[in-house]
Structures are given as C-alpha cells and as structure tokens.
Amino acid sequence: MSGDHAEPPIAARVRRLEERVIAAGLASDDELDGVLDRLYATASPVNGARMVARAWTDPAYRELLLADGNAAAAELGLAAPAYRLRVAANTAEVHNLVVCTLCSCYPISLLGPSPGWYKSFAYRSRAVREPRAVLAEFGLTLPPGTRIDVWDANAETRYLVLPRRPEGTGHLSEDELAALVTRRGLIGTAAV
C-alpha cells in the first residue's frame, strides 16, 4: 500500500511498464519474451551452488567472491548480473539471511526463479523484525549466541549467502559439494 491507495498486483504493474516500453518503440513483446526465455534457460540454483563449492575449495576464489560477487560469477563463466552482487559468509558466530522488504529483488540468474514464500509479505516483513522466529519456522534453530545479519536486497544490489561448509566433507569433489548446496542455503533460511 502506498498511502491510502492500494497498488495493483506486481504483475499488472510490470505489464503496464512493458506496454510503455513497447509503445515507445524500445522493444517488442517478442523481444521482451526472448530476454526472459534466455534468462530462465540458464537461471538455476546450480549456478549459486557452483560458486559456493568453488569458494569452499579455493581460498583465492572465496576472497574474490566476498570482495566482488560479479567478478566471481564471471570467473565461472556465469552471465554478469545487471546488479551488484554482494556475498555474506556464514560463520560460527554469524548467520546471514537475505530478504527484499520492498518487493522481491532476488538474484534469479544464480538461484533460479524465486520461491513464493520469498515474495510473500509475511516473509518480507517478519524476516527483518523477527529473523530468529522466521528461521525456526523453516526448521533452522540457531544457538542463542549466534548473531543474525539480515541483508535487504534492492534493484541495485542483490545478496547471496555463502553457507558454512559442512563438517566431514573434506573428501568431496567440487561437484559433490555443489550438490549439497540448496537455494534455501543460498538465501539463509537453511544451513547446508
């Protein structure tokens, strides 16, 4: 809601924007559909999982990932995101959680289409106010002393969580490690 006026659903607002772009002659409906088709053809949580697995096995890549997420994505041959990618690493003392309180900004190319709960008003509002309770509802109970940092994504900056590497995985290959990483782990609503 904006003031006393209810905003139309996001899909209606997006369609109005598309119609304006088409009316201005900047793109056709088919061109816009093509952009989405190309994005969704390669958008997958596998991309984010590959980045995490590489960071778990390559200290130099981990440093790059934490310093410049866009450069780290490019190093793995992933399409450069049109936004700034920041990565927050979980530690024994800190757990990170990603939310977009305004809408549902989300790194689709690295995580695939966003889950419905990520876009829900309940998640967007409660993740900031009561992150520990929200995580518990997802089945993730953290020790009382663990600090929870909540990262609020926006149109310019998207976030990805670098989960802690599970104990006992030193013998696994990078591909095997990537298979352990879930979309929820990359958002911070699950441990890996």
Would you please indicate which residues are annotated as catalytic (active-site) residues?
100, 103-105
The residue type at 169: T
Cβ atoms of 52 and 111 closer than 8 Å: no
Residues with Cβ within 8 Å of residue 87, at least 6 apart in sequence: 51, 65, 66, 69, 72, 159, 160, 161, 162
Residues with Cβ within 8 Å of residue 115, at least 6 apart in sequence: 183
Cβ atoms of 57 and 177 closer than 8 Å: yes
User: For residue 119, what are the CA distances in angstroms to 115, 126, 134, 147?
Assistant: 7, 12, 14, 24
DSSP count for the chain of H helices, then E strands:
11, 4
* Tokens representing residue 156 in the block: 């310019």
